[in-house]
Structure 1
Amino acid sequence: MSDQSLAAVVTKQRTQIALSSLRQEGVYDEGRHITEHDDGTVAIPVTDPPAQTDVLEVVRTTGETRLRTLEDHLRQRGWTDGELDAVPGSWAVIGSVILVDTSDTPRPAEVGDALLAMHGHADTVLSRDGIAGVHREPSVEVIAGEGDTHTVHREHGTTYALDLSEVMFSPGNKAERAHMGETVDDGERVLDMFAGVGYFTLPMARGGAHVTAIEHNPTAFQYLVENVVRNGVQDSVETYRADCRDVVARGVEAADPFSFERVVMGYYDAYEYLDSALSALESDGTVHMHEATPEAELPDRPVDRLHAAAERNGRRVSDCEVREIKGYSEGVTHVVVDATVR
């Protein structure tokens, strides 16, 4: 029988790993806070002693029951019903950092404090305001906590180190990152034209593919190289810091030219790079082209763009599928076109 006073003790450095493992076991107690146990350790509330997670010890605690919702926390702080109508409906926890949009919210600092109370392993809250520029740099502001924007995030067995004030990370692409890791075949040659910190490169390399990863942003590239090592896929990933078009042009013209069975284009304006992508893609190869498309133009716009590029390059598109990933903005959807190009 479960015991509502139990907690698993782990070192602070292992909080994220242990929390993920306890969730997978189904014994993490969402209704109580993670608390400090003693110097250097934390107590993670559990419903039963963990059988699969490595912990220092299991103890009994007297922790308070957690307020369940953000509205509960803010109402306790005196927020009115009118103010609560403007409370963010969603946020994302990336490692030890919480990302939330507070652009239309009164008293963002109080929202940040409430989110920290809800997520005991997090230490910083960032208000995000979009991605801009050729290097896809985020616009963020620290609204609560320690202000440490560097973190290590783990999902589906892949580890990402990054600084959320300098490089983008889209929480809504979590399922797509996992999907790409499951899509590749062992030994498959893949080109990732917009690798970032390794969003798709790392799951694909862990899935057995040999990935050529290109990233232009110097900070993102630094984390890409670090993350390749963190995930132990150094033998499966070749990295370039450059404009992907330049790398592809040199590779195609080399004595031993580039040749890829799959090309991943994880960039909303990826269609502008299709000529380069197709020049490096083998016949019967697969292309994954991301795009932010107005709903009224789905599925025609991205598909037409791919067909036009194929025709320019003497190629033919077959087995074309448009998948919706997530909402991008009002009336606009993030989609991926998966297609075989002959």
Structure 2
Amino acid sequence: MGKQQWCLRVNRQGAETVRRALLEEGTLDKSLKIRPDGDELLFPVISEREGSMMAEFEELYQRAPLPRHELVGGIAILAEDDPAGAAAILGDRPSVHTVLFAESAVEGEFRTKRFRVLAGDETTATIHTEYGRTFRIDLEKAYFSARLASERQRITAIMHDGEEVLDMFAGVGPFAVMLAEKAGMVWACDLNPDAVSLLIGNISRNRVSNVIPTLADAADLPEVFGRRFDRVIMNLPLMAERFLPAASRLCRPGGTIHFYALVGDEDEDTPLLRRIPSRSMEKRFVRSYAPGRSHVVYDIVVD
């Protein structure tokens, strides 16, 4: 059953001009659906006015705001411990099978978080799709950020065909698999055995033949490889700084290091950056991380 409300009868020919004027005035009743009536339209207004009349209108569905969350494949990660909000997300988003709340920050040498299931399936694993590639992810076993998708595309775009790339902290392989499109070869390394296991599966899942998974400590990589690369990815924002000397030894002159870090608005650049012989160094904003804190990347061309 509809709702009776004041309205204005307007010819269709000038209807858009009237609609915009009512919106600017704040008098259009946006909770009701504009109603066609022959060659005219009936615009619901919030109160009686000159030329208005009463008519019946269909109420528009008012979607309740969902709590703040991040989507990773079929998993929604809530910013707050909110079971009711989790249930609302599960009911509103058919693609979501699980809603999680992070009970810890990134911790330990494997960069993992502890999660609690608030709604849906009892799992922390999902399939995530990014620019046509698919990744099996287990958020409790290996670190993953969907928010770096555009950054992965940026680096792919600036690469030259045939480059040899080293991903020092590969995780489940999003950088390695994406960059493989243009690289000659990608060496994808991680210290976390679960991450490397997922990485191997994702290499196979995406039918990529030029990514070599490696279980190793990033600090040991200069000795492991004994060679240099055209491009080095350092996506370990909380602790990558201590691996900068190793990265410098692993990148050839003229090659590029992409060093990711979390910095405060007033923070100065880490002194270790100044110790890397470089031809150029560009600091780029990636995304907001927290109030007064940003995720940035330093693109360093090694001398």
Superposed CA offset, 1:138-187 (max 9, x none): 12110001223211100111211111222222232221122222232211
Superposed CA offset, 1:91-119 (max 9, x none): 2221111111114xxxx111111011221
Cα separation, 2, equivalents of 1:243 and 1:159: 26
Aligned to 1:163: 138
Cα separation, 2, equivalents of 1:119 and 1:170: 20
| 2:123 match: secondary structure | coil
Cα separation, 2, equivalents of 1:147 and 1:177: 30
Aligned-partner residue type, residue 101 of structure 2: S
Following TM superposition, where does structure 1 have runs of at least 4 consecutive aligned residues deviating by more than 6 angstroms?
Answer: none
Cα separation, 2, equivalents of 1:161 and 1:206: 19
- C-alpha contact 2:112 2:139 (8 A) present in aligned 1: no
Cα separation, 1, equivalents of 2:122 and 2:87: 12
Aligned-partner residue type, residue 191 of structure 1: L
- C-alpha contact 1:284 1:341 (8 A) present in aligned 2: yes
Q: CA separation of 1:176/1:209 partners in 2, compared to 1, >3 Å: closer, same or farther?
A: farther
- C-alpha contact 1:70 1:114 (8 A) present in aligned 2: no
Aligned to 2:269: 301
Matched, 1:143 2:118: yes
Superposed CA offset, 1:247-277 (max 9, x none): 322322xxxxx22011110012212111111
1:52-201 aligned at under 5 Å gives the runs 68-71=63-66, 88=67, 90-103=68-81, 108-128=82-102, 129-201=104-176
Cα separation, 2, equivalents of 1:264 and 1:224: 16
Matched, 1:239 2:239: no
- TM-aligned CA deviation for residue 69 of structure 1: 4.2
The structure with more helix, counted as a fraction of residues: 1
**Residue 322 (structure 1) aligned to one of 280, 283, 287:** 283
Q: CA separation of 1:169/1:250 partners in 2, compared to 1, >3 Å: closer, same or farther?
A: closer
Over the matched positions of the two proteins, sequence identity in percent amounts to 30
Matched, 1:219 2:184: no
TM-score scaled to structure 2, two decimals?
0.75
Matched, 1:337 2:298: yes
Cα separation, 1, equivalents of 2:129 and 2:160: 23
**Structure 1 gap segments, 5+ residues each:** 1-64, 72-87, 253-257, 311-315
Superposed CA offset, 1:4-34 (max 9, x none): xxxxxxxxxxxxxxxxxxxxxxxxxxxxxxx
Cα separation, 1, equivalents of 2:175 and 2:164: 14
Cα separation, 2, equivalents of 1:266 and 1:67: 41
Cα separation, 2, equivalents of 1:278 and 1:208: 20
Q: CA separation of 1:324/1:120 partners in 2, compared to 1, >3 Å: closer, same or farther?
A: same
- TM-aligned CA deviation for residue 67 of structure 1: 5.3
| 1:340 match: secondary structure | strand
Report how many residues are paired.
242
- C-alpha contact 2:133 2:206 (8 A) present in aligned 1: yes
Aligned to 1:274: 244
Superposed CA offset, 1:213-270 (max 9, x none): 1011111111011111111112x11111110222322322xxxxx2201111001221
Cα separation, 2, equivalents of 1:67 and 1:100: 22
Computed over aligned residues only, the root mean square deviation of the Cα atoms, in angstroms, reads: 1.7
Superposed CA offset, 1:37-66 (max 9, x none): xxxxxxxxxxxxxxxxxxxxxxxxxxxx97
| 2:105 match: secondary structure | strand
Larger Rg: 2
Cα separation, 1, equivalents of 2:99 and 2:89: 8
Aligned-partner residue type, residue 77 of structure 2: L
Cα separation, 2, equivalents of 1:261 and 1:201: 14
| 2:241 match: secondary structure | helix
| 1:138 match: secondary structure | coil
Aligned to 2:232: 263
- TM-aligned CA deviation for residue 339 of structure 1: 1.4
Aligned-partner residue type, residue 333 of structure 1: S
Aligned to 2:185: 210
